[in-house]
A and B are shown apart, each in its own frame.
Chain A
Amino acid sequence: MKPRNLAILLATGLAFTATACGGDSSGDAGGDVTITVACQPAKTAPKTRKAWDDDVATFEKAHPGVRVKSTDQQPCFDPKTFAAKLAGGQMETVFVVPVTNYADVIAKRQAKDITGQTKLVKNYGDIKQDVRDMVTKDGKVYGIPNVSYSVGLVYNRKLFKQAGLDPDTPPATWDEVRAAAKKVAGLGDGYVGYGEYGGGNVGGWHFAQSLFSRGGEMVTDHKAAFNSPEGKAVLQTLHDMRWKDDSTGSKVLIGWESLMQQMAAGKTGMMLGAPDVVTDVVQKFQGKAEDYGITAIPDGKASLTGGEAYMINPKANAAQTKAALQWIDFEFNTPGKGRLDFARGKANGEAVGVPNNDYMGDSATGKAIIEGRKANAALPVENYEPYVAATGITPKLEPEKAQELYAVLDVAMSAVLTRENADIDKLLSDAESKANSILAKS
């Protein structure tokens, strides 16, 4: 090699080495740092997107040296691309994970251990203990929860009135649900009293919700426990509503949004759902806000919880992790700021007022959030009072191997919705043996 070429090669190599070292040291030493954050609102929602961008600018000003880059993938968390994005280095520094995926993401070490750094989120201590426990494994913390709610019963107040039912006294038991559904369906062709799913794993998911509400269990000691009187009651009630009362409609709904679309169309009386269903029915599918109410889950022995937490990319360095937690604190956990700036949300036309978040409980922060939400409500909050008033319902986590079990129970749910002669005992015992073979591999 000619001496000149050798010199160029050595100089280039040294430059690369210096750059690489510089990158590491500046990142860890707290110099200039860039973080990527998920969940920027889509361009189709210009007002909320601008609010987010304003928040980014405010945050950067308050934290000199930190640069925030937003990504607007919708939905924010997509289980189909999650692992591939992480493997390909495309995952944001801060990403959101729904409660259904906490265990999986933590077990696969796809979220950073942030134990000891949670103090960077000022109100972390105010988050309810049971909600914090969900992101904690073996004493280590892997995320900052920012949403938590339990399932209730969403109903159409207008249809209730038309059917001669009192919308201020919604059904409190499954027997009352059945009776009310029959009356709503009696309004005429195309009216569905109670909508239910039979596929896409949402059938099995709703089976679990109904089972918990009756006091049943999905899994006990790593064995299927749903082949029980409560499990049988879930399927029997649904079967009778479909074939004796004709109050569930004749479609086997498979998509999560399909039932919400039907609710928004104003011909479905009731469905199981968390308060965010009301938000989607009103905001996404243009249902009339004043028509919808939510009450506690029927029977109310227990209720499946839902929610989400922000987690940190395990590949983030110390400086990025610090900046990421500061961003989470600013945007998602400080009353009056970021996502909790309800006044701005109302001005931007968001569905403020739905009690879809109780992650801070009765703490000072929790009270401030509730007051801010009430003061700026854009929806009729009195319609959600039956849900808020129903305290004391035990929150219940998803069972282990949840998605696999839901897929198994889709079969039983679709069977009672499509076959009049469905053998419920056999459906449950078949599902039980299939579930046990899945659980045995845990």
Chain B
Amino acid sequence: METLTKEPTRQAAPPRGPRPPTKRRRGARRNLIAYGFLCAALFCFAMFAWWPIIREVVLSFQQTNLVDDPEWVGLDNFRTVVDDPAFGQAWRNTLVFTLLALLCGYVVPFAVAIVLNELRHARAYLRFVVYLPVMLPPIVSVLLFRWFYDPGPGLFNQALDLVGLPTLSWLDSTSTALISLVIVSTWMNLGSGVLIYLAALQNIPGDLYEAAELDGAGILKRIWHVTIPQTRLILLLMLMLQIVATMQVFIEPFMLTGGGPENATVTVVYLMYQYAFVYGGNYGAGSALGLMLMVVLLAVAAVQLRLTREEN
């Protein structure tokens, strides 16, 4: 049998020429293309993400005017920013903003997504309406809110006046300025959050809800016992993304309050901007502040990874 099988093979040996690629070679060629794409992506990351990070770390130990050779100054830049009277306030404001933004920006989109998911009619239209603000450039949204908050003809105060409530100072009072910024931020990011939560909700098998309904669970119990456990991973991911995004808040204080009144809305990134572009180009101090923020955010990311791993 062996002879029979081997003999014809020898007779039917292919004529001399290029040998057909083996399975291994085909695999290698496929991998080569993949490596090509990977290299391009890695190159882009290295150029536009990692290199600036490395430069920032180096810059935070240097004093430079970007023309002469930079001077190494050790920890001077860190001392400068820590000694800044606005340093503590900036961190406090950033943390309070993050907490408030989490309360609003985490709960509100989740609730809206649940409502949209439950709706039977006009679902597509409402999704579009909710997502619409995301399509506006952030600067437009912020300027829109500047008018909403105007203490004179502003929309919010007119609405309060209409229903007989006292008007507020919104951006012009230390007690309301920060929360006013949180409202803008929540409004601007609502659509993206809702979209992600909706995608997660639609992956929950319907029979789980049916079973819960058969067991007599009302809407709140269904959310507590089915929706939240089933979307726990996405909730964790969103939590981390929210923290990272909200701690870097800049455009709202920059455009609406300039950090005031009385430093009530100075944030860490806003202070960084001031060092780099307002205080005569102190890029070293700005970078030092940026490095501190990066370390905090890395710690947050590490905690989140740990939690996700435990979940898995």
Q: List the interface of chain A (C-beta within 8 A of B).
A: 79-80, 82-84, 86-87, 101, 104, 108-110, 190, 198-201, 203, 249-252, 254-255, 314, 403-404, 407-408, 410-411, 414-415, 417-419, 430, 434, 437, 441
Question: Of B65, B169, B171, which contacts A110 at CB under 8 A?
Answer: B65
CA of A200 to CA of B253, assembled, Å: 10
Interface of B is mostly: loop
Q: Are A254 and B280 in contact (CB under 8 A)?
A: no
CA of A418 to CA of B67, assembled, Å: 43
Q: Are B67 and A86 in contact (CB under 8 A)?
A: yes
Q: Are A109 and B65 in contact (CB under 8 A)?
A: yes
Q: Are A417 and B261 in contact (CB under 8 A)?
A: yes
A-B contact pairs, 27 of them (CB 8 A): A79-B278, A79-B280, A83-B67, A87-B66, A87-B67, A104-B280, A104-B281, A109-B68, A199-B258, A201-B258, A250-B151, A250-B152, A250-B169, A251-B152, A252-B172, A254-B258, A403-B279, A407-B279, A408-B85, A411-B260, A414-B261, A417-B172, A417-B261, A418-B173, A418-B174, A418-B262, A419-B174
Question: Of B171, B258, B262, B281, which contacts A83 at CB under 8 A?
Answer: B281
Interface of A is mostly: helix
Cβ-based interface call for B308 (8 A): no
Q: Are B278 and A437 in contact (CB under 8 A)?
A: no
Report the nearest A residue to B149, measured CB to CB: A251
Cβ-based interface call for B259 (8 A): yes
Q: A410: which B residues are within 8 A, CB to CB?
A: 258-260
Question: Of A79, A415, A417, A430, which contacts B281 at CB under 8 A?
Answer: A79
Q: A199: which B residues are within 8 A, CB to CB?
A: 257-261
Q: B227: which A residues are within 8 A, CB to CB?
A: none
Q: Which of B138-174 contact A (CB under 8 A)?
A: 150-153, 169, 171-174
CA of A199 to CA of B261, assembled, Å: 7
Q: Are B260 and A80 in contact (CB under 8 A)?
A: no
> Most chain-B CB neighbours within 10 Å: which of A79, A252, A404, A437?
A252
Q: List the interface of chain B (C-beta within 8 A of A).
A: 65-68, 80, 83, 85-86, 150-153, 169, 171-174, 256-263, 274, 277-281, 283
Q: Are B169 and A418 in contact (CB under 8 A)?
A: yes
CA of A261 to CA of B278, assembled, Å: 23
Q: Are A251 and B172 in contact (CB under 8 A)?
A: yes
Q: B173: which A residues are within 8 A, CB to CB?
A: 418
Report the nearest B residue to A103, measured CB to CB: B280
CA of A87 to CA of B70, assembled, Å: 12
Q: A201: which B residues are within 8 A, CB to CB?
A: 258, 278
Given A201-B278, A254-B257, A441-B80: A108 touches B262 (CB 8 Å cut-off): no
What distance in Å separates the Cβ of A402 from its nearest Cβ neighbour in chain B? 9
Given A104-B281, A403-B279: A251 touches B150 (CB 8 Å cut-off): yes
Q: A190: which B residues are within 8 A, CB to CB?
A: 152-153
What distance in Å separates the Cβ of B5 from its nearest Cβ neighbour in chain A? 53
> Most chain-A CB neighbours within 10 Å: which of B65, B153, B169, B173?
B65
What distance in Å separates the Cβ of B148 from its nearest Cβ neighbour in chain A? 14
Question: Of B68, B85, B278, which contacts A403 at CB under 8 A?
Answer: B278
Q: A252: which B residues are within 8 A, CB to CB?
A: 171-172, 257, 260-261
Q: Are B65 and A404 in contact (CB under 8 A)?
A: no
Report the nearest A residue to B281, measured CB to CB: A83
Question: Of A79, A104, A418, which contacts B277 at CB under 8 A?
Answer: A79
Q: Are B261 and A198 in contact (CB under 8 A)?
A: yes
Q: A198: which B residues are within 8 A, CB to CB?
A: 260-261
Report the nearest B residue to A80, measured CB to CB: B277
Q: A414: which B residues are within 8 A, CB to CB?
A: 260-262
CA of A414 to CA of B173, assembled, Å: 9
Q: Which 6 pairs of residues, A with B, have the shortest CB-CB distance?
A: A254-B258, A199-B258, A87-B66, A414-B261, A200-B258, A199-B260
Q: B256: which A residues are within 8 A, CB to CB?
A: 254
Given contacts A110-B67, A201-B258, A430-B85, 6 further A-B contacts (CB under 8 A): A83-B283, A250-B172, A251-B172, A252-B260, A407-B274, A411-B262
Q: A418: which B residues are within 8 A, CB to CB?
A: 169, 172-174, 261-262
Q: Are B83 and A437 in contact (CB under 8 A)?
A: yes
Q: B262: which A residues are within 8 A, CB to CB?
A: 411, 414-415, 418-419
CA of A314 to CA of B67, assembled, Å: 10
Q: Are B280 and A403 in contact (CB under 8 A)?
A: yes
> Most chain-B CB neighbours within 10 Å: which of A404, A408, A414, A437?
A414
Q: B278: which A residues are within 8 A, CB to CB?
A: 79, 201, 403, 407
Q: B85: which A residues are within 8 A, CB to CB?
A: 408, 430, 434, 437
CA of A254 to CA of B257, assembled, Å: 7
What distance in Å separates the Cβ of A154 from its nearest Cβ neighbour in chain B? 21
Q: B171: which A residues are within 8 A, CB to CB?
A: 252
Question: Of A83, A408, A430, which contacts B66 at CB under 8 A?
Answer: A83
Report the nearest A residue to B80, measured CB to CB: A441
CA of A326 to CA of B234, assembled, Å: 66
CA of A341 to CA of B277, assembled, Å: 35
Q: A408: which B residues are within 8 A, CB to CB?
A: 85
What distance in Å separates the Cβ of B48 from its nearest Cβ neighbour in chain A? 16
Report the nearest B residue to A422, measured CB to CB: B262
Q: Are B80 and A84 in contact (CB under 8 A)?
A: no
What distance in Å separates the Cβ of A317 from its nearest Cβ neighbour in chain B? 16
Given A86-B67, A252-B172: A411 touches B281 (CB 8 Å cut-off): no
CA of A404 to CA of B67, assembled, Å: 23
CA of A226 to CA of B258, assembled, Å: 23
What distance in Å separates the Cβ of B36 from its nearest Cβ neighbour in chain A? 28
What distance in Å separates the Cβ of B171 from its nearest Cβ neighbour in chain A? 7
CA of A374 to CA of B152, assembled, Å: 41
What distance in Å separates the Cβ of B271 from its nearest Cβ neighbour in chain A? 10
